[in-house]
Structure 1
Amino acid sequence: MRILVTGAKGFIGKNLIVELRNRGYNDIYEVDKETDELSLGKFIRDCDFVFHLAGVNRPKEESEFVEGNVEFTKHLLTQLEKREKPIPVLFTSSIQAEKDNPYGRTKRMAEDLIFDYGRKTGAKVFVYRLPNVFGKWCRPNYNSAIATFCYNIARDLPITVNDPNVVLKLVYIDDVVNEFINALNGCENRDGKFCEVATQYTVKLGDIVDLLYSFKKGRENLSVPNVGDDFVKKLYSTYISYLPEEQFSYQLNMKADERGSFTEFLKTEDRGQISVNVIKPGITKGNHWHHTKVEKFLVVSGEAIIRFRKIDCSEVIEYRVSGNKLEVVDIPPGYTHNITNIGNSDVVFIIWANEPFDPQRPDTYYLESTM
């Protein structure tokens, strides 16, 4: 299938083209402002499906709304009508088409042209009145509040929130792209004459801003958001995509001494904490137990023995572990335990605990693991 994409260098166009190629669609004609008329004509004559994503939403002159949203659409459809077969067209409109402003009026006019083309030619048409779209590669400080907020917050730049109680209707770019490719394959999500992205979110602007600032603070307090919440997961991915390239990394507080080191890595309120522990050869760490705290040890480098003893028993249980064979060892409550480096190199192991460490209530009690 030969696919024509207008607005190919735009936010939606870039994401769509990348995913089309991921799925094996290689004959893609990319149309943008630099495409000459001769090339455009050839693409239209050859294509089997059109994603019409091009449009003008923030011009210097109001007349550009008509030129970019109406006249170009009319020109595209006029040439498609000359084809010997009906060519399906998917068009990205906007919820602004419901409003009486220059952008909305011209988007509505373009919709009418698309529907007329479908009636005249018998071609299948897909018109999506998209709400606010968010995700990677959206241009900040242009027409997306979320892109602007992500970009500015990641760079310690100020943002302006006029009314935090404003409610935004949102769709995520990957959901948009999936829906568009479903439409390409005849499985669109249709509601009457319009099509829509099935997964949508309604969120207050102030809540979005609070989340974005919490993502930024996560580097300091080692917290990660609740990615079990679908919107939070997608917003977090969006925020991370706007990090400055020179700031992809950040340092952790490594507590080191003659025995090795201990470094907290990630903390969550509902999924516990992850830390990294390093033990020098011949050193033993631990010799404590917990009432409720549960841990998992995973040695990824070196050789060690993990010893357990139920606090009211004398029997010692041993597990020999090494980075040559990854094996998780559960640390149950009520068992005092330690870990000893029995090799010639450092032991590096990952610890997961079922709760973040609370210095006010550490739930950690010293007791020798061997008697």
Structure 2
Amino acid sequence: MKKVGITGQNGFVGWHLYQSLKLYKEEFTLIDFERGFFEDEEALDTFVTQCDVIVHLAALNRHNDPEVIYAMNTGLVKRLVAALERTQSQAHIIISSSTQEERENPYGKSKKEGRLLLSEWAKQSGGRLTGMVIPNVFGPFGLPYYNSVVATFCHQVSHNETPKIDVDGQLKLIYVGELVEEIIKAIRTEDNTHELQVPHTAAAKVSEILGLLKHYREVYQERGEFPILNNSFELKLFNTYRCYMDIPNYFPRKFVQHTDNRGAFVEIARHGIAGQTSFSTTVPGITRGNHFHTRKIERFAVIKGKALIQLRRIGTDEVHNFYLDGDQPAYVDMPIWYTHNIKNIGEDTLYTIFWINEPYDASDPDTWFETV
């Protein structure tokens, strides 16, 4: 059981790493970190002594004064090194640097200098360091106007704002979930590469990314259809986009009912990707679900009975409640990293149709149980 601490655990990458490590409870114990530890030597030393592994992610990405970025990022590493030396720690340190190391800007310089400072500490102390040089990271829950252009565009497009392309460059990208896998791999293998070039997994021009996001808005957000997703990158980008929508006010979405003297007809989903369709019956008072997915796209469609569908983003306390009635058939889609359930709140049997983009695989279910 390795004890892992993450500086910047509430940041974009830190949140994803923290929540992912929680899924492997028999392998990792998490040591919580608070931003104030950097201002309190005793608290920082206590944190360091508890950790077998420290993943240093805390950093300032943007500021009006570039020199503040440089001073902040190098200062945080110096404080960490001082704590490591005071406690004579032998922890495995993993630091996230950036491909901007090669550029002559304060952020790139600060990340390279921080990696080199920890490299020198490791050489002198006999410690272990993984110095990850990382391309552009994208994924759910990044901060618009701060973490990445993808986060900014997802927010703007989904909220009907007008994005602006300053430079239509070619971006080398890695999905945050893929980066987390690389970090976990480094922890497990006790990697000691002081300059580890993390490969990008996709490349696209800024205009291409914006075009895809606008397409997702038109097809999915406006028409309720699942778009054609041609490759793994597009699936990850679509899942990212869905998490920037105003979910509490977007769902539930009513279906169009076609009725005549024979009864009613409702189209559940149009989708440009393969998947699995199933249905369930649920007796009154019973709740199904209480789990979440990290990659799957899923739709719940209530066609008969009364239901309460609940969603809660992992790591938060806010629960979103959606009430559906088969007399007015409607659906709710499940964003990734949101635990969800469905409860029969009526007096009759509840009939629900489920669509998911990949057939269930018992060896790789991507189904993690957590009560809403």
Tell me the number of residue pairs that the alignment of Structure 1 and Structure 2 aligns: 284
SS at match of 2:216: helix
- Name 1:174's counterpart in structure 2: 177
SS at match of 1:185: helix
SS at match of 2:189: coil
Structure 1 residue 126: Cα displacement: 0.8
The match for 1:155 among 147, 154, 159 is 159
TM-score of the superposition, structure 1-length normalised? 0.68
TM-score of the superposition, structure 2-length normalised? 0.68
Instruction: Check conservation: 1:11, 1:139, Cα contact below 8 A.
Output: yes
Which amino acid counterpart does residue 260 of structure 2 have in structure 1? D
- Name 2:62's counterpart in structure 1: 58
The alpha-carbon distance between structure 1 residues 215 and 131, as it changes in their structure 2 partners (threshold 3 A), is same
Taking the aligned partners of 1:90 and 1:226, their CA distance within structure 2 comes to 38
CA distances 1:76-106 after superposition (whole Å, capped 9, x unpaired): 1122123345221100111111100111111
Q: How does 1:37-186 map onto structure 2 within 5 Å?
A: 37=40, 38-164=42-168, 166-186=169-189
The alpha-carbon distance between structure 1 residues 193 and 49, as it changes in their structure 2 partners (threshold 3 A), is closer
Q: Give % identity.
A: 28
Taking the aligned partners of 1:269 and 1:50, their CA distance within structure 2 comes to 43
Structure 1 residue 36: Cα displacement: 4.7
SS at match of 1:184: helix
Taking the aligned partners of 2:113 and 2:133, their CA distance within structure 1 comes to 13
The alpha-carbon distance between structure 1 residues 350 and 259, as it changes in their structure 2 partners (threshold 3 A), is farther
- Name 2:236's counterpart in structure 1: 234
Q: How does 1:4-15 map onto structure 2 within 5 Å?
A: 4-15=5-16
- Name 2:328's counterpart in structure 1: none
Instruction: Check conservation: 1:266, 1:274, Cα contact below 8 A.
Output: no
CA distances 1:39-92 after superposition (whole Å, capped 9, x unpaired): 222101222111000111212433322332112101111221233452211001
Structure 1 residue 128: Cα displacement: 1.3
Taking the aligned partners of 2:164 and 2:7, their CA distance within structure 1 comes to 32
Instruction: Check conservation: 2:69, 2:107, Cα contact below 8 A.
Output: yes
Which amino acid counterpart does residue 77 of structure 1 have in structure 2? V
Taking the aligned partners of 1:132 and 1:12, their CA distance within structure 2 comes to 12
Structure 1 residue 127: Cα displacement: 1.1
Taking the aligned partners of 2:105 and 2:210, their CA distance within structure 1 comes to 27
SS at match of 1:92: strand
The alpha-carbon distance between structure 1 residues 92 and 42, as it changes in their structure 2 partners (threshold 3 A), is same
CA RMSD of aligned residues (A): 3.1
Instruction: Check conservation: 2:3, 2:52, Cα contact below 8 A.
Output: yes
**Higher radius of gyration, 1 or 2:** 1
SS at match of 1:68: helix
- Name 1:210's counterpart in structure 2: 211
CA distances 1:260-312 after superposition (whole Å, capped 9, x unpaired): 22222322456599899xxxxxxxxxxxxxxxxxxxxxxx98xxxxxxxxxxx
Stretch of structure 1 that moved more, 197-206 or 46-55: 197-206
Instruction: Check conservation: 2:219, 2:225, Cα contact below 8 A.
Output: yes
Instruction: Check conservation: 2:153, 2:210, Cα contact below 8 A.
Output: yes
Unmatched tracts of structure 1, length 5 or more: 277-299, 302-344, 353-371
CA distances 1:121-177 after superposition (whole Å, capped 9, x unpaired): 12121111111111111011224111111111111111112344x211111111111
The alpha-carbon distance between structure 1 residues 272 and 258, as it changes in their structure 2 partners (threshold 3 A), is farther
Q: Does 1:263 align with 2:238?
A: no
Instruction: Check conservation: 1:93, 1:107, Cα contact below 8 A.
Output: yes
Unmatched tracts of structure 2, length 5 or more: 280-302, 305-347, 356-372
Instruction: Check conservation: 1:225, 1:233, Cα contact below 8 A.
Output: no
Taking the aligned partners of 2:275 and 2:136, their CA distance within structure 1 comes to 34
Structure 1 residue 248: Cα displacement: 3.4
